[in-house]
Structure 1
Amino acid sequence: MEYITVQEAAEKWGISVRRVQFLCEKEIIPGVVKFGKVWAIPNEAEKPKDGRYKAHRRTKEG
């Protein structure tokens, strides 16, 4: 199995390095492995859906 780094995954998925690190820490990416201080992400891993939500803006009426 081939692995990619956090930096490579961030570029591939179009998200920040910190976000990929968070996904690794919470084991949201299947097959992720930590070697010492470095995360190894399977090359075929797909970008997880973003589980965060946006706050709705309040609108003034009248």
Structure 2
Amino acid sequence: MEYLTTTEISRIWCISSRRIGVLCTEGRIDGAIKKGKMWLLPEDAKKPADGRYKNNKEMK
């Protein structure tokens, strides 16, 4: 399984790498692991829905 950093995923998902780190800390991204100070995410990880909106569906 290939893993990507928060910076690489942030380019794909169009959100900041800091926000991705927060989502990982909250446990909202399946398969995310922490190596030292860096989060690694599976390349096929799904972007979680934005919790600020009630009718927001899961993003791809």
Task: Name the TM-score class by shorter chain.
Answer: 0.7 to 0.9
- TM normalised by structure 1 equals 0.80
Deviation at 1:19, TM superposition (A): 0.7
Could you say what secondary structure the match of 1:39 adopts?
A: strand
Q: What is the total number of aligned residue pairs between the two structures?
A: 53
Could you say what secondary structure the match of 1:45 adopts?
A: coil
Which is greater in Rg? 1
What aligned pairs does 1:6-45 form with structure 2 within 5 A after superposition? 6-45=6-45
- TM normalised by structure 2 equals 0.82
Gaps of 5+ in 1: 54-62
Could you say what secondary structure the match of 1:47 adopts?
A: coil
Identity of aligned residues (%): 49
Could you say what secondary structure the match of 1:40 adopts?
A: strand
